[in-house]
Chain A
Amino acid sequence: MLTKLTRWSRLKSPWILHLNTGACNACDIEVVAALTPRFDVERFGILLKATPRHADVIICTGPATRQMKDRLIRIYEQTPEPKFVIAVGACAMSGCVYRGAYNVIGGIDQVIPVDVYIPGCPVRPDAVIDGVVKLLNKL
């Protein structure tokens, strides 16, 4: 009964943390656009949270830079279980145009485990919604 209730509440209100690990801002504004009236993900119970301690889902944009690597791991550890990571954009998947640059490690999955990848440079807000829904279906 309790597990059923937890599962239901998790499905109905995934709280997200938006984390920029070195992105060019393009994916970031598209993620924020997904939260604003035109696309409005709040109708699915998705709410943007400011601290990793409140979040269920970490939305990562951008390639992992060397400077951000330790912080990324720390933020991942601060997030309570169960936690999910969505890599948004081509950079977060593989490094995109920055692949090969001296300060870029590569995709987010080089540092922390990733559950869902959303391709695009930058992703469209519709794609972000689709990705989040796919993650919810996995639960």
Chain B
Amino acid sequence: MRFQIPIGPQHPALKEPIGLRITVEGEIIRDADIRLGYNHRGIEKLAEQKTWIQNIYLTERICGICSHSHTTCYVQGVEKLMELQPPKRGLYIRTLVAELERVHSHLLWLGVAGHEAGFDSFFMYTWRDREIVMDILERISGNRVHYGINTIGGVRRDLDELQVKYILDSLEILRKRSEYYKNLGTTEPSFVARLAGVGYLSKEDAIALCAVGPTLRASGVPMDVRKDDPYAVYDEVPFEVCTADTCDVLGRAVVRIKELFQSYNIIEYLLKNLPAGEIAVKAPRRAKPNEVVSRYEAPRGENIHYIKSNGTDKPERLKVRAPTLANYAATIKMLKNGFIADVPLIFAAIDPCICCAERAVAIVDARTGQEKVVPMNILKQISQKISANKERKREAEWPL
């Protein structure tokens, strides 16, 4: 006997709106289907109406957790289009914020994993220590979540001696606390028993389904954009790519804890070798017609932005492929033949960032409730049919 269970868009197990349709036989999941679009805001279209500089702030608001990832990815692409070389100090500060963001994101994830595993004190512990990172970020950029530190050609705020000392001091506390989590997360029997063997994804499947980030590395594939295709100053910084070979949720937790320590080392290296000089160069207002693909290792995996310019001060096209989107296919695989009670845990293990991944076009007929995915050319035909008899306006306004 098969049953279909709809989960979401608003559900206790999910933090963000997403629809899951799960087919179960008894307690065992036989099939899973992901429904997107609750969080789709139309950022790519909006980006075409804004200038290069304005788009930095728009891409920052693709996602609140990896806000620096999206801006850096975008800014790197635009710098390539404008043929700019940001100064060394600017790149160091950019990388520093990127690593701090990774620390805050991984601590956040550890807490969420603890919460989903029913270990709420772990959640409270990691979130308390996450505040230390948030304080550092606030000292550097003035903001807790949307740092707004990137600009085309460098960064907007410089570091001074006091800030450097403050970060190094805070880093010591974080190291000590992370050591505790490492022991707790890998030796606490009930926690390990809950995570081990859940959401199995073999190495072959992980490669075939194009998983990215810690999900891929937990399946024993040492892939990291920071190492494979170094951007910013990662070619100068010594660090290791962390992997695990257990292929389950425990492995994903271990990879993230290991990466925390790597990030602390990177931050320390960056601060101790911070070069003097300018932090930004002046950027032109327009970019020559060209196209570029920019890659970035976000805390959740590889983030790709495709940017096309047409010689004006606005991009012609901005395409965002967020890491969560790449991990969806692997998630379906992980959910299959698992227990229904493991759904939140498996789903949390890819560290889903739904607001990042909402790039789909689906059409819901509100009257009949029918849902269909429409190819772009048919959508175009419909729009042409509707607008054929309408008055032409130069600047169309969306009804709010």
Contacts and interface: CB of A to CB of B under 8 A. Distances in A.
B10 A52 contact: yes
A124 B46 contact: no
Contacts of A36: 111, 123-124, 127-128, 131
Given A68-B17, A100-B46, A30 B40 contact: no
A103 B108 contact: no
Interface stretch (B61-69, B78-86, B228-236, B270-278): B61-69
B400 A21 contact: no
Nearest to A70: B366
A26 B67 contact: yes
A59 to B, nearest CB: 12
Nearest to B361: A103
A98 B64 contact: no
Interface in B175-192: none
A114 interface: no
A24 B42 CA distance: 12
Interface centre among A30, A52, A68, A96 (most CB of B within 10 A): A68
Contacts of A30: 144-145
Secondary structure of the B contact surface, majority rule: loop
Interface in B128-182: 128, 130-131, 134, 144-146
Nearest to B353: A25
Contacts of B65: 25-26, 29
Given A19-B10, A38-B128, A100-B46, A26 B61 contact: yes
Interface centre among A24, A30, A36 (most CB of B within 10 A): A24
A51 interface: yes
Contacts of B43: 98, 101
Interface string B174-217: 00000000000000000000000000000000000000000000
A68 B358 CA distance: 13
Nearest to B104: A29
Interface string A14-46: 000001111111111110110011100000000
B398 A102 contact: yes
Interface string A97-139: 1111111111000100000000001101000000000000000
Contacts, number: 128
B124 A101 contact: no
Given A21-B17, A25-B353, A97 B57 contact: yes
A103 B41 contact: yes
A11 interface: no
Given A24-B61, A25-B355, A101 B42 contact: yes
Interface in A55-69: 62-63, 65, 67-68
B122 to A, nearest CB: 12
Contacts of A19: 10
B87 interface: no
A75 B38 CA distance: 14
Contacts of A28: 15-16, 64
A65 B41 contact: yes
Nearest to B123: A36
B62 A24 contact: yes
B376 to A, nearest CB: 14
Contacts of B39: 20, 22-23, 62, 65, 67-68
A124 B144 contact: yes
Contacts of A33: 127, 130-131, 134
B222 interface: no
Contacts of B42: 98, 101-104
A7 interface: no
A68 B38 CA distance: 5
B400 A37 contact: no
A95 B366 CA distance: 23
A125 to B, nearest CB: 8
Which 5 A-B residue pairings sit nearest by Cβ, starting from the closest? Answer: A26-B64, A50-B12, A36-B127, A25-B64, A101-B42
Given A29-B145, A71-B38, A98-B41, 4 more contacts: A20-B15, A21-B17, A26-B65, A103-B40
16 contacts: A22-B39, A24-B355, A25-B63, A28-B15, A36-B131, A50-B12, A67-B39, A70-B366, A71-B10, A97-B57, A98-B42, A100-B397, A100-B398, A101-B46, A103-B40, A105-B400
Interface of B: 9-12, 15-17, 37-43, 45-46, 49, 57-58, 61-65, 67, 108, 111, 123-124, 127-128, 130-131, 134, 144-146, 353, 355, 364, 366, 397-398, 400
Interface of A: 19-30, 32-33, 36-38, 50-52, 62-63, 65, 67-68, 70-71, 75, 95-106, 110, 121-122, 124
